[in-house]
């Protein structure tokens, strides 16, 4: 079926295959941590205020020590979630290669993804309201492998995200032409 006369199939030395080990990964923009902390802070303050208000108005029915324990546990969870964000931030790194994009994340549960450009279906840059304040953006790359194999990298400078998107789509189209 392949009528391409330039077809070749030479033996490949395994040690010559480019390795992901040699790649230097780039960290995310520092403001990404700030954005994450603000967003998480807002969510926790809403929950915290809601709980406190409901305790205040039901103080007759709820024993004080129960309320104290709940609030202490909540505080503990909040501190943990902030710690996870702060320490997890350093673990989020990415790299672009000629033919694929690499992304790693996770403090305790770590993932390391390599996504070849010739499998990209679609790429886009998203920006939430807090991200807009810091001119950050989120690069989303879709493949045909379903939601589990789509890649999202947040905490990129908006300009960087845009140019990465263009680069990826350009590389994808080159591949299709070949």
Partner 1 sequence: MKKNDVFSVPQRQSRFAIIFIVLRSVKRIISQLWPLLLAALLGRGGSSRFDTLELAIAGIGLIGIIPAIIGYFKYYFHLSDTELIIHKGLFKKVKLNIPFERIQSVNFTQTAIHQFLKVTEVEIETAGSTEQETKIDALDIPTAELLRKRILEKKAAVTQLTGEFSDVQEEVELETEERTTILKLPTRELLKVGLVQNHLKPLGLILGLCSTIFYYSYTFDWDFDPRTFLRTAFSYVEDLDYYLAIVVIILILIASVLYSIVTTVLRYYNLHFWRAGNKFQVVQGLFTRQEFAALDNKVQILNWGQNPLERLIGFYNIVFSQAKSGEVKKGSAKFKIPGCSIEQVEFVQEAWLGIKGLPFDKYSTVSPHFFYHTAMYLLLFSSILTAGAIYAGKILSALMIILILIIFLYLNWINYKKKRYAINSTELYVGGGTLGLRHSLLPLYKIQDVNIVENPYQWRRKLSTLVVNTAGGAIKIPYIPKEEALKLMDELIYEVERSKKSWM
Closest to partner 1 by CB, 63 or 110: 110
**Torsion sign (Cα): 84, 89, 90, 92:** positive
In 3-state terms, what secondary structure has residue 42? Answer: helix
126-165 residues in contact with partner 1 (CB under 8 A) are 143-146, 148-149, 151
Q: Among the candidate windows 56-64, 65-73, 108-116, 159-167, which touches partner 1 by CB under 8 A?
A: 108-116
Spell out, one character per residue from 52 to 81, where the chain touches partner 1: x when CB under 8 A holds, - when not. Answer: ------------------------------
Q: Are 86 and 33 in contact (CB under 8 A)?
A: yes
Q: Are 40 and 89 in contact (CB under 8 A)?
A: no
Q: Does 111 bind partner 1 (CB under 8 A)?
A: yes
Least distance in angstroms from the C-beta of 49 to partner 1: 34
Site size with partner 1, rule: CB under 8 A: 33
Contacts for 151 with CB less than 8 Å, ≥ 6 apart:
101, 103, 113, 115, 140, 141, 143
CA-CA distance, 96 to 69, in Å (whole number)?
48
Site residues for partner 1 per CB under 8 A: 1-4, 12, 14, 17-21, 99-100, 106, 108-116, 118-119, 143-146, 148-149, 151, 178
């Amino acid at each position: 079926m392949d009528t391409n006369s330039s077809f070749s199939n030479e033996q490949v030395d395994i040690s010559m295959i480019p390795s992901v080990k040699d790649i230097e990964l780039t960290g995310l923009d520092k403001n990404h941590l700030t954005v994450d902390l603000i967003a998480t802070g807002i969510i926790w303050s809403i929950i915290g205020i809601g709980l406190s208000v409901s305790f205040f108005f039901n103080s007759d029915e709820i024993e004080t020590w129960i309320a104290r324990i709940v609030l202490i546990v909540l505080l503990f969870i909040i501190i943990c979630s902030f710690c996870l964000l702060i320490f997890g931030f350093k673990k989020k790194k990415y790299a672009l290669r000629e033919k694929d994009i690499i992304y790693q994340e996770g403090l305790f549960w770590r993932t390391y993804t390599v996504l070849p450009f010739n499998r990209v279906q679609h790429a886009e840059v998203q920006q939430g309201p807090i991200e807009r304040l810091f001119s950050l953006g989120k690069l989303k790359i879709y493949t045909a492998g379903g939601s589990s194999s789509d890649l999202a990298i947040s905490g990129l400078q908006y300009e960087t995200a845009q140019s990465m998107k263009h680069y990826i789509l350009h590389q994808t189209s080159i591949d299709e032409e070949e």
